Structure 1
Amino acid sequence: MRTAWRRSRADLWPLVVTVLVVALTVGVTDAVPRLLGDRADTAVRSAVTDADPAVDLVVSSRYGAGASDPTVGPEDTRIGVDDAARDIASALPPALQPVLGAPVADATSTDLTLSTPDLPTGGVLWMSYLWAGQEPAVRWLAGSAPGGPGRDGAVQLALSDDVARVLGVGAGDTFQALMTDRTVVPVLVTGVFDADDPSDLVWTARPEILEPRVVGPPDAPTTVVGGLLSAASLPAARAALEPDGVTRTFRFPVEPGALDYAGSGGLATEIAALEASPELTTVPGPGASVTSRLDLVLTQVRGRVAATWSQATVVLAGLGWGTGLVLLVGADLLARRRSAALRTLRARGASLPGIAAGAAAEAAVVVGAGAAVGLVLGQVAVPGTISWPWVAVVAVGVLAPPAFATVTAARSDARRVPTDRHHRRLAQRVRSVRRVSVEAALLVLAAAALVALRRRGVVSISGPADLALAAAPVLVAAAGALLLWRAVPVLLGGALRVARRSRKAAPLLAVARAGATGAVLPFVALVVVTTLVALCGALASTARAGQAQGSWDTVGADVVVRTTVPDAALPDVAGALAAGEGVDAVAVGRVQVRSELFDVRGVDAVRVLAVDPEPYGELLARTPFGSSPAFGVLSDAATRASTGPLPALVPEALLGTRPSLRWGNVTVELEPVGQVPALPAQQADGTPAGPTVVVDRAALAAVVQALAAARAERTGTQRFGTDPPEVDPNTVWAVGPGAAASADEAAPAVRGHVLTRAQWLTDRRDDPLAGGLLALLTLVAALCAGYATVIVVLAAAASAPGRSTSLATARVLGLRHRDTTRVAAGELLPSIVVAAAGGVLLGMVLVGALVAPLALRLVTGQSGDPGVVLPWWTVVPVGLVAAAVLVIVTVESSARRRERLGQVLRVR
């Protein structure tokens, strides 16, 4: 034990380096899976919280014909709505019950039209009974709660104060509502109320009861209001609206805090099963249905989580392989430093298993200490259950030292060398064949892994069987390192020819020493870790730049104002935006997400972009999409074409065709006059835009009007539905530093939805999955850069004894101290710089090959793969290792200054 301690103390710094490397890697590989698990849970909850429309589970059914009696009491309502809600809640699958809140039930009438003195243009009325554990709590301002049927069978109804003011009615007033078949429903207002708590969940079923809603264009608005039924008045409403005028809806809100990634797959399956078999909910009445967007949202977010996990697996696999190579270099250094002691032990009779056992015991203690420190760091960073990917790194750290020690000790055994030259050449040929075979196998494996990863994609990585895919970048780096290693002698040979022409001895000695002291293991390890630095750095920069491009792909400008329905007032909004401070360009248009296309094989639907070509072209010129002469061509063609086909910019596949476009109830013939330039590739919700046709908005309106007039003249009638479809705009784009602020002021006039590119980009970069992956890439790049420095130090320490001997001899022969320092630097720098530079180049090449299979588009939010961005700091490892060499040479030179000539001559 004492001997082992003295041996360990003599080699303390390599052991400390091993502890540090193991601790860092174990800490990262232990914490990252837990961190990703937490990010996955956060992503699931955020997706459910931010879903629009909401992902509530909605169970609905009709009452059915012949079951309504206006004279029954409130008990019938309680059985049909309140008790039914409780029964459905108890019948839900056990997996769903913890994630669903208490039901909110309503029994709501079909759309009823009404007209009052204060609302002469008419409106839409919904009569609703609400229940969420109890009827909503209200404060009566006038009158009282509705009851049974009034005089002449009038349905008793309560109105909120805001609704009553809009309609111009009060307690005791009556009005008439009309069903779609023009049946008159008399309504008696029994009371006017205010809600005790307007934020109560019960009002979310029908918010129009508290606050009227105005829909439609400004020149023809429609007011939607709601009236409150009680348990006593609902039977009368059912009887008045027979047979299918009242629908029961049971809404179960989803509790995002109760969701996690692990259970999301089962929840999606349960929701799909309920949608397919609504009878499982025991909902009463005919026409039962179950709807929810929860399964769709969960499926989408699970796809993103799976892709992020796979991307992180590739990065962690690279870190693990890099750490393993660092530990191998450290084990090799220990074996070299102890070679004399190991051979002495072997000569004294120690067995190879005994030597391996001693080295393994020491390695177990050292690596165990590093693993323990790493686990503590991991738990401090991300508390939770211990994960186990780090076991592979620990195994390498424990097994490598005894393996190198055993091989070093075995070299002291006497080996027979054939005296026959032919046999020696044959043995050398066998060794060469073995080496070439191993290298060829590695090249084939790397190529196969890279091809498989490119064909299958990172999202296919699902288990241990796919570890070869995850290790593809490291395998390619290792194969490239072997090829670079074969190039080093060629480079040194050229340098040697140049050095021979020098009159000084230092260059010649430096090149000679560089060719004699190079080792393949540190070289390969350095290439691999520098490749990982460049790869991770380039991937992180590509992702961030892709997020910025994704914001343009989705928004299309600095800010976009969209309306739910086309609005003729949007040009006024565009004018107000254009007059705003800091607004550089504004365009207004109509975006039709999907229109049918005819007479073209393979394309049956397109997105139609009806814009004013010149303003829209000027706006695009101020975006990354750039200006395009195609908009000028479209504008000229639209000006010349008074009649006939509509000029259009079409995708390349449609050039040379004569397609027809369905717009409303008319079919418009298109005349392709050019190819669509670069445009935003996504919709506002992130879905791909698909093939796009760009037309002049004024020309489209003129053509649609002409076609509608021609049809009316041909048929000789103006039947309902023959009016020309509107071509009013629904989108305003604006660019400029002040566009967002101006849009916030102008959008309320048309009840428009404002989407800013800056906010989209902020949300994407704050996304838990994307942010976690970028943080992991940055962390691994930093660790591998540090590991590159460690490899240089370990490799220099391994060759230090030979270098010290040769330089001491050179000093005895008259070489000056300054020249010996140059010789030492020239000995170390060539192979190290070649390895670092080669690794950086390999990383830059690999990032281009891996952007698509790594599915970075899911991180950037783009519809396609992002363009590769190579940051300048990917070359930092080259400067870092060169600086490390200079520091090592300076330290060794300082140590040699203290050597005495007598000591040098005695030792050597």
Structure 2
Amino acid sequence: MAPWVRTRLRAAPGAAGALALLVALTACLAAVFPRAVDHYEDAGLRHAVDRANPARTSVQLYAPQPDLLLPQHLREDAVRPETLARQYAKVLAAVPGPLGVDRGQSTYGARTTDHPETTDPWLPRPYGLPARVSLVAQQGLADHARVRAGRLPRTTGEVTATTPEVEAAVTAETARSLRIKAGSVIHVPGVDREPLAVRVTGIVAPRDPSGAFWSTQPLLRAPALVPLPGADPPKYWLGTLLLAPEAAPALLSTAGIPERYWQLAPAAGSLHAHETPRLKSAVASLEAGPGLRNVRTTAESLMQANTELDDVFTSYDRLRTGIAPLIAVAASGAGTVAAVVLLMAGGLAADRRRSELALLRARGASLRGLTARLVAETAVVALPAGALGLAAALLAVPAPRTGYALAAAAAVTAVACLALPLRAAAAHRAVRVHTDRADLTSTRPSRRRTIAELTLLVLAAGAVETLRRRGTSGSAGDQLVSLAPALVAVVAALALVRLHPLPLRALARPAGRLRGVVGHLSLARAGRTSVSAVLPLLALLTALTTAAFGGSVLAGVGEARDRAALLTVGADARIEAADTLPATLPDRIRRSPGVHDLVRVSIDHMARPQDGPSSVPLVGADLGTYAGLAARTGFGPFPERKLKATARADGGSDSDALPALASPATARTYGTRPFLVRLGDGNTVTVRIVLVRKQTPAVSGSQFLVVDRAGLSARAARPTALLLTGDRLNAADLRRATGAAATVQLRSEERDGYVDSPLQSGAERVYTAAVAAGAGYAVLALLLALLRTAPERVALLARLRTMGLTRAQGRRLLVLESLPQAALAATGGLLTGWATIHLLAPGIDLTTIALAAPQGSAGRTSLRTDPLSLTAPAATVLLLTVGVAAAQAWWSGRRGSVRELRAGDSR
């Protein structure tokens, strides 16, 4: 077998190199996909944990102060750093995997849970209430703080519950707010003793203010003005004094009700998305399960735990679950295209070597032996190429798991190794010396092929119906549903292959009556195409449909973000003030670069119809420009004349009512009769609803009224917001022109804010890669099909030139011969893509991937056709076909006919 393999590789090095390149590229893409998904899902999980407040994500374990009935020295020993450190080590050992602990941000100590009033008159009292302090003896202060003034606190000798004075430090923010300086002494009330004197020896600044060490207990970093229960607005200052860990026993004699605590910060770098269920189980175990029981047994029997980390994991998992089915659809489509191209490459190789293999069978080669030799021949090329593609994927994308990548690369390599041998075995089961030409227009499909096609049709119909009923939200892990777009493309391709001969037969007869020979000959050649053209057509149609579907998903995501941002802002930019805008501001803004139009509106958010308990935003607008803005944005366009303040009702008591545009909810509540609206400034206006629209640019929400600003009083009509329309608006220029008079909000900034997680951006990149892969494999399938028939075409062209065919006629012949299949694939791909999108649109919801969190006013984001995604791949196929045929004709014209004839004969 080895001599056979060496001979074949030497005889066709180009074919072997092309196969190796195809396998390496496909294996690399297949192996990269699961690693890319793991990579962006892990990044999304870490992003979710990092964005959450450490007070939520840290696991806080705490225990009350030692029993008051214990001897005093035992109570003091229980809060000393040595005892807490031993318990901390046992807590760390009890944390169940895969939850990791960031030991650099985790800590332990003792603190007061009640905050008694201080007796020092020099501390600030903004509402006449004395300040209060929290005493915290937390381990690791020296490693997490920089000394701004003075020094860190320390102890002299052994501190006990009766120690009269201890040292402490405060943060710079606490010192500034409470007017504390190095050397200040604060007295904390005690229990059965004199107040504890706390001398501030240093002012410190956190090295990492947002880290868990400082932010798990926010009071450590900054003081707070706390409202007194039942009092409005009296508040008192509450700050934290940071004691040395060795001074913790002094807390036992204060009125602060001390407790011991151990806080564990999760190590974000050790979090992996595929372990989310285990992570939630680990947190639950530590919070109220076996983990907590283990801690109570080994460390402290009264220990309790509290955290919201499991809620963070649940929120992330909900987002991940909403995006994963869409990614499965993209993966299934791209994988189907790659598999079809690999099978097509094997089928074309078997068709190219048909005579060789038939001769070997005629000379006595067994089918098993021939198949084994072909497997060895392809394996020698495919196995190293697959390994190379896998290695490139492992190096290109870091990820914790390699199993899925290895399986994907192995599957690609297996398909590449078996495509040629199995196709050859099927074609040469019987020994034949001569085989009839299998023309597309004359060969009837076999019964087995018909059954296989009907089976695919049933599967595709079931997948489409399931996806339409359940949607992507319920199809995670359902491979049949994920394959719906690819199955629709495959069924459409098989249907087009069956219908392909009909137009060729219909055109052949009238073309035969034409004077020229090129048209009739090109149709005859196209009609005598081998049935092996089924796989290229299948590959082309599947790739084009996948590219169109993926492109429409990306376009739908972008459109959803644009619409949600436009609905939030109301225009390309919005300038809004809490009260009224300066009179000169509209003119300044109108002169800003990029501003095309400006709409002035007055928005009264405190307007109350019929003096009711609930307010309804009342918008007073310049109707001419506002109606144009509503028409441009598509948010409740309306005829301007209907709301003109001069327009009146039919007479009587209705004549003074302002015509108003209202939301459906407002219209249902107040009807069409005139009603009184009390404005925020105390004045009233009578309005009558004449138009109902679901949305309007100036405000979002389910309740609003829009009236002509000219019908309001001068005070009520003063503009409070400007809605700007323009291209390339510059946020810095607008904010510079506005100054501190109002806030500036741009639609582009709002849109960027919807990409809230690496999950979204990662999923978009995967879809973009799937679209690019689909388009690339479509081009590859077309090139493989054209290159397979290139020698035969060149030889035919050389023979016809000896009979008087000109170069221009030869060029037209090759182009016209290639166009039927390319036009069929392009048209079929366009129609199939359009049909697939419309069939599956009811079950595809892009809201999660587009906005991360549903925007109630924006509604559900459904899949829509994107003209560019439909037409661009199809047009590329046509242009590439014509270009390759023209280039082939030009190249053959540069070579002599005798040489081409000999080359064709040798083939």
> What TM-score bracket applies, with the shorter chain setting the length?
0.7 to 0.9
- Contact residue 143 and residue 190 of structure 1 kept, 8 A: no
- Contact residue 63 and residue 260 of structure 2 kept, 8 A: yes
Deviations 1:239-270 (A, max 9, x none): 7xxxxx77776543333223222433222223
Call closer, same or farther: CA 1:744–1:87 in 2, change over 3 Å.
farther
User: Is 1:895 the equivalent of 2:904?
Assistant: no
Structure 1 residue 533: deviation in Å?
2.3
Alignment partner of 2:494 out of 482, 493, 497: 482
3-state secondary structure, aligned to 2:539:
helix
d(CA) in 1 for partners of 2:306, 2:692: 42
User: Is 1:571 the equivalent of 2:579?
Assistant: yes
| Segment of structure 1 superposing worse, 269-278 or 250-259 | 269-278
d(CA) in 1 for partners of 2:724, 2:265: 39
What is aligned with 2:79?
79
**Aligned-pair Cα RMSD in Å:** 5.7
What is aligned with 1:94?
96
Alignment partner of 1:777 out of 745, 767, 770: 767
Deviations 1:769-797 (A, max 9, x none): 33333323333333333322332233234
Alignment partner of 1:343 out of 358, 365, 374: 358
What is aligned with 1:543?
557
- Contact residue 630 and residue 649 of structure 1 kept, 8 A: no
Structure 1 residue 312: deviation in Å?
3.4
3-state secondary structure, aligned to 2:897:
coil
Alignment partner of 1:692 out of 702, 719, 729: 702
Deviations 1:360-408 (A, max 9, x none): 2112122223313312322332256353113222222111211222344
3-state secondary structure, aligned to 1:350:
coil
3-state secondary structure, aligned to 2:763:
helix
- Contact residue 214 and residue 221 of structure 1 kept, 8 A: no
Deviations 1:57-77 (A, max 9, x none): 3547795999599x9799649
d(CA) in 2 for partners of 1:734, 1:276: 53
User: One-letter code of the match for 1:865?
Assistant: T
TM-score by length of 2: 0.72
1:215-614 aligned at under 5 Å gives the runs 222=235, 224-228=237-241, 231=248, 234-238=251-255, 251-276=263-288, 280=293, 282=296, 290-382=305-397, 385=402, 386-410=405-429, 412-413=431-432, 433-458=447-472, 460=474, 466-517=478-529, 519-552=533-566, 570-571=578-579, 581=589, 610-614=616-620
Call closer, same or farther: CA 1:412–1:858 in 2, change over 3 Å.
same
Structure 1 residue 523: deviation in Å?
1.6
Alignment partner of 1:109 out of 101, 111, 114: 114
3-state secondary structure, aligned to 1:692:
coil
User: One-letter code of the match for 1:858?
Assistant: T
d(CA) in 2 for partners of 1:26, 1:347: 36
Call closer, same or farther: CA 1:154–1:206 in 2, change over 3 Å.
same
User: Is 1:121 the equivalent of 2:133?
Assistant: no
User: Is 1:833 the equivalent of 2:823?
Assistant: yes
Call closer, same or farther: CA 1:139–1:99 in 2, change over 3 Å.
closer
- Contact residue 461 and residue 469 of structure 1 kept, 8 A: yes
Deviations 1:103-162 (A, max 9, x none): 3553232586999796453457442111321678878879999999999x9999997786
d(CA) in 2 for partners of 1:203, 1:549: 40
Alignment partner of 2:881 out of 872, 882, 885: 885
Call closer, same or farther: CA 1:641–1:560 in 2, change over 3 Å.
farther
User: One-letter code of the match for 1:677?
Assistant: K
What is aligned with 1:26?
27
1:735-774 aligned at under 5 Å gives the runs 737=729, 758-759=748-749, 761-762=751-752, 764-765=754-755, 767-774=757-764
- Contact residue 275 and residue 290 of structure 1 kept, 8 A: yes
What is aligned with 1:823?
813
Structure 1 residue 483: deviation in Å?
1.9
- Contact residue 101 and residue 264 of structure 2 kept, 8 A: no
3-state secondary structure, aligned to 1:840:
helix
Call closer, same or farther: CA 1:120–1:773 in 2, change over 3 Å.
closer
User: Is 1:865 the equivalent of 2:861?
Assistant: yes
d(CA) in 1 for partners of 2:861, 2:344: 38
What is aligned with 1:133?
139
Structure 1 residue 25: deviation in Å?
0.9
- Contact residue 590 and residue 611 of structure 1 kept, 8 A: yes
3-state secondary structure, aligned to 1:94:
coil
Deviations 1:470-524 (A, max 9, x none): 3222211010112222332333244335424532221111112212215322222
3-state secondary structure, aligned to 2:113:
strand
d(CA) in 1 for partners of 2:512, 2:134: 99
User: Is 1:626 the equivalent of 2:635?
Assistant: yes
Structure 1 residue 87: deviation in Å?
3.4
d(CA) in 2 for partners of 1:316, 1:801: 36
Call closer, same or farther: CA 1:186–1:806 in 2, change over 3 Å.
same
d(CA) in 1 for partners of 2:877, 2:664: 54
Call closer, same or farther: CA 1:609–1:827 in 2, change over 3 Å.
farther
- Contact residue 215 and residue 221 of structure 2 kept, 8 A: no
3-state secondary structure, aligned to 2:545:
helix
- Contact residue 81 and residue 107 of structure 1 kept, 8 A: no
| Structure 2: tracts of 5 or more residues without a match | 437-441, 607-611, 673-686, 708-719
d(CA) in 1 for partners of 2:237, 2:661: 40
- Contact residue 847 and residue 868 of structure 1 kept, 8 A: yes
What is aligned with 1:422?
none
Deviations 1:181-230 (A, max 9, x none): xxxx99887545542334476654655566554589xx968563315275
d(CA) in 2 for partners of 1:757, 1:801: 57
Structure 1 residue 680: deviation in Å?
9.9
User: One-letter code of the match for 1:877?
Assistant: P
Length, aligned pairs only: 807
| Segment of structure 1 superposing worse, 55-64 or 766-775 | 55-64
What is aligned with 2:439?
none
- Contact residue 329 and residue 522 of structure 1 kept, 8 A: yes
d(CA) in 2 for partners of 1:74, 1:575: 73
Deviations 1:849-888 (A, max 9, x none): 4466455322211542255351526433333333433323
- Contact residue 543 and residue 856 of structure 1 kept, 8 A: yes
1:843-862 aligned at under 5 Å gives the runs 843-850=833-840, 853=843, 855-861=845-851, 862=854
Call closer, same or farther: CA 1:459–1:339 in 2, change over 3 Å.
same
| Structure 1: tracts of 5 or more residues without a match | 178-184, 240-244, 418-427, 563-568, 593-598, 600-605, 659-669, 683-688, 698-730
Structure 1 residue 345: deviation in Å?
1.5
3-state secondary structure, aligned to 1:677:
coil
Deviations 1:627-651 (A, max 9, x none): 55599989999x99999xx997454
d(CA) in 1 for partners of 2:866, 2:823: 20
3-state secondary structure, aligned to 2:136:
strand
3-state secondary structure, aligned to 2:127:
strand
Deviations 1:6-54 (A, max 9, x none): 5444444443332222111100111221222122221111111112475
What is aligned with 2:714?
none
Call closer, same or farther: CA 1:590–1:364 in 2, change over 3 Å.
farther
Structure 1 residue 837: deviation in Å?
2.6
User: One-letter code of the match for 1:693?
Assistant: Q
Structure 1 residue 467: deviation in Å?
3.0
